[in-house]
Amino acid sequence: MSTKNTSVLLQVVETETSLQFEVFTTTNTLDMSTEISTHHTVSVQSVLPNIPSDARWDQKEITVAGGHGRGNATNQLSYSYGLFIDDDDEATIITDYSNHRIVKWKIGEKSGHIVAGGNGQGDRPYQLSYPTDALVDKNTDSLIICDQGNKRVLQWSLSSDLEHIRNDIRTFKKNNNLDKVIVLWTANTERYVDVRQGLNQTSDEILQSIAANDDEISPSNIFACAAILEGCPYINGSPQNTLVPGIIELASKHNVFIGGDDFKSGQTKLKSVLADFLVSAGLKIESIVSYNHLGNNDGKNLSAPQQFRSKEISKSNVVDDMVGANHLLYNKKKNEHPDHVVVIKYVPFVKDSKRAMDEYISSIFMNGLNTIAIHNTCEDSLLASPLIIDLVILTELLTRITYKTNDSEQYQSFEPVLSILSYL
């Protein structure tokens, strides 16, 4: 039995362009019966630039992020702790430690945008607490965050619906060189969502429900939250209950205007005027029956029971408010109110020209009855389009108006819920 012994000689040879490593290996046995020698040469290219010996560094520094004092504005940082360079997106990912957020700052931009956190310090799924490091996982399009204050490591999706819409708003604003963006919802009617504790009663709950992808969160809920978080007023042009208590609270926290509950430009507009006239004239409305048929996607969408229910509630609320305000005609203790029936049918042929037929029956003198029957062709798009323009213009104007009372020292803006829009 013999024992092997190996010796290695490493020789470094420097050339003008690279380093060469020459490796000499000799293996023999103790009885000297066998000896094997090998020789390898490996060239290693330098990764360092060829800097002349007389070169001098440019002493002029360039601020690539922050530089506007300590704070939580989009152009400010507070104790930036860690950096990650995203070469693909030409951006710097910054852990903004004291602001409990991760900020993405693209090269050449004057401000960054929040890609994670920024919803106050906390341990909820949408919050951070003193983050120290973050890196981008390209395979999952997410951030891996060291959430130091919460003693956890998070995977934060960069492609969530909420973040995607927020990014779309920022991109639209930048590409069009805009000072302000106003988001107005004109999509088809959604179903009514549940309003309950733990889901959407507070701003924390609505954001947590969005982060958890709760089935009860509607697309318009996500759009409204995205607009508010980007500081953009949000106007709801459909009859569903988008503006749940949690969204109203979120708008109050961020001092952003919200408003709207359907455009009500056709039959509902006429109903609000006529019902108000009859009740104000002392004529007690006993029955209102409203029949509609229409085509296009709006009509098809409203043929679904859950979406129809949203429209039915919206149309009924117009009358309920007027009845509730008149205790002389309607005994509140007896829960008196008119019979109110709404029917909507889908007829593709009529397209956007909605047919509306209404019958109003009111009690008059000597137990008599007065009946008003109306046939109305409502060109929905043509009626709503001017309202859309007016709503945007008025909302933008209100963002520039402040006021103060005799009892206040500082000027203040209007409350977040813009009830003044209901006059249109």
pTM across the whole model: 0.67
| Residue position matching structure tokens 């309202």 | 387
CATH 2.40.10.500 domain locations along the chain: 80-158
SS (HEC) of 303-347: CCHHHHHHHHHHHHHHHHHHHHCCCCCCCCCCCCCCEEEEEEEEC
Per-residue pLDDT of 162-185, as tens digits, reads 988 998 899 899 999 999 999 999
193 contacts 220 by C-beta, under 8 angstroms = no
Per-residue pLDDT of 193-221, as tens digits, reads 989 999 999 999 999 898 877 888 999 99
Q: What is the spatial distance between Cα 213 and Cα 193, in angstroms, rounded to a whole number?
A: 14
- With a cut of 80, say whether residue 30 has pLDDT above it: no
* CATH code linked to domain 80-158: 2.40.10.500
Domain at 267-384, CATH class: alpha beta
Name the pLDDT band for 266 (thresholds 50, 70, 90).
confident
Name the pLDDT band for 32 (thresholds 50, 70, 90).
very low
CATH 3.30.360.10 domain locations along the chain: 267-384
Q: What is the pLDDT of residue 33?
A: 47
Per-residue pLDDT of 317-342, as tens digits, reads 778 878 888 888 998 888 898 999 99
Per-residue pLDDT of 294-321, as tens digits, reads 888 878 878 778 787 887 777 777 788 7
Q: What is the pLDDT of residue 37?
A: 55
Q: Can you tell me the mean pLDDT for 35-57? A: 61
Per-residue pLDDT of 68-106, as tens digits, reads 888 888 788 998 889 898 888 788 999 999 999 999 988
